[in-house]
Amino acid sequence: MFAMTSLYRARHALLRIAIRLIGTEKPTTAIGPDSSLQLCKMMADLGLRKVMIVTDKPLVELGMIDGIKAKLDELKIQVAVFDAIKPDPTFEVVREGITRARDASSDAILAVGGGSSIDAAKVMAISLTNNKDPQKMVGILKGRKQALPLFVIPTTAGTGSEATVAAVISNDVSHQKEVVLDPKLVPVAAALDPALMTKLPNHITAATGMDALTHAIESYIGVFATDETRFYGAAAARMVFENLPKACGEQSEDLEVREHMALASYYAGLAFTKAHVGYVHAIAHQLGGKYGIPHGLANAVMLPLVLEFSKDAARHKLAELARVCSIGSLSMSDEQLAQAFIDHIKSLNKQLGIPATLEKIERQDIPQLATAALKEGNSYPVPCFMDQSQCEAVIARAMVS
């Protein structure tokens, strides 16, 4: 284990240097009710004339893009709509979108939706200008040319994809998630418009909000964290604890609450695009691939279980987060604060109606799930490494006994 740990840390050191050399821009951000319409104006001011909206059918049927389309019409921007995005989009869907954008001679892409629409739009934008099949873009820095100008209007508060250099697309055959990593994927601009989030069903608000919290915490306790990423991660965690119960309760239509959640998701995105995630995500990705468990739900269930494993190595960081989030009391030791922080996450899950275990996990699948999770998770800058039996034990705790 010691030799393997040294190898992982050596790889991390190289990756950390690469991240610093590459650097990342932040998207220009408009925030607040009707900021989505301001984003349309920004597109017109940039001289864009033919825009492909990338979204999903339910949003179109709910009339969620009507206002955006009307504004683009008013601004004399020609609009085409590609609404075939489904959860966990595949390369086939991305290819279809690319063909549609080429047919429409689109000069920009506007993603309106959750992480699936945003990620598909990112890969469309970079594949189009580089004239490459989207699957060929998998990996790090595969695009030579800038992506087609990309604009983003998230309609959920969780993935933070509007701020990140990454896009996740599912393999059409294996259903494994494949990652495109390139600073050219960062959108030109994003609008965090709470008016588009007030009708989200509670279970989606809860799961996506817990995804944002997981980004905030995993990036904060990982070894790539910097003062900047910890600043954004801590702010995001505090905003989620304060606002997610309200967004899932009687204040679900409160624009201020929704705006805080949108901002928390964006801040967490800024944190994890540089400081990465950890084993919670590595395990959640396997649970999503194997059983179709939604990403946010899998993260929410795994988060306290993985933190219980990491709490000795990450004790001081977890205690810092507890203090920032006003969890526990000033007289508590770091060890007590770290535990109070983990217990607070369990209470939040309970309050949001998120179960402590996942019915779909089968005992016979756990060794394979753990092997795949470690393959992914050991590449992340985690505070301490797991071995196979430790990972199996963590996953087993998420199984219904």
Dist CA 238 CA 213 (whole Å): 9
Dist CA 31 CA 377 (whole Å): 34
Interface stretch with Fe ion, choices 84-92, 122-130, 209-217, 337-345 (CB under 5 A)? 209-217
| Residue 294 or 328 having the CB closest to Fe ion | 294
| Residue 162 or 211 having the CB closest to Fe ion | 211
Minimum separation from the CB atom of position 277 to Fe ion (A): 7
Q: In what order do the strands lie in the sheet with 189-192?
A: 28-31, 189-192, 150-154, 108-113, 50-54, 78-82
| Residue 101 or 282 having the CB closest to Fe ion | 282
Q: Are 128 and 81 in contact (CB under 8 A)?
A: no
Site for Fe ion in 251-290 (CB under 5 A): none
Structure tokens at 22: 């590459």
Interface stretch with Fe ion, choices 208-216, 221-229, 345-353, 391-399 (CB under 5 A)? 208-216
- Applying CB under 5 A, what is the total number of residues that bind Fe ion? 1
Q: Are 296 and 245 in contact (CB under 8 A)?
A: no
| Residue 88 or 211 having the CB closest to Fe ion | 211
| β-pair type (108-113, 139-140) | unpaired
Minimum separation from the CB atom of position 294 to Fe ion (A): 11
Site for Fe ion in 23-62 (CB under 5 A): none
CA distances from 49 to 35, 43, 64, 72, 82 (A): 20, 8, 22, 9, 17
Q: Which residue is nearest to Fe ion (CB)?
A: 211
Minimum separation from the CB atom of position 158 to Fe ion (A): 7
DSSP 262: H
In 171-242, DSSP assigns E strands to: 177-181, 189-192
Structure tokens at 173: 């055959």
| Residue 43 or 277 having the CB closest to Fe ion | 277
- Candidates 211, 218, 376, 392; binder of Fe ion (CB under 5 A) is 211
Structure tokens at 104: 């429409």
Binding track, positions 152-191, relative to Fe ion; x by CB under 5 A: ----------------------------------------
Minimum separation from the CB atom of position 393 to Fe ion (A): 23
CA distances from 130 to 136, 147, 183, 269 (A): 10, 8, 14, 26
Q: Say which amino acid occupies 378.
A: N
119 touching Fe ion, by CB under 5 A? no
| Residue 205 or 339 having the CB closest to Fe ion | 205
Binding site for Fe ion (CB under 5 A): 211
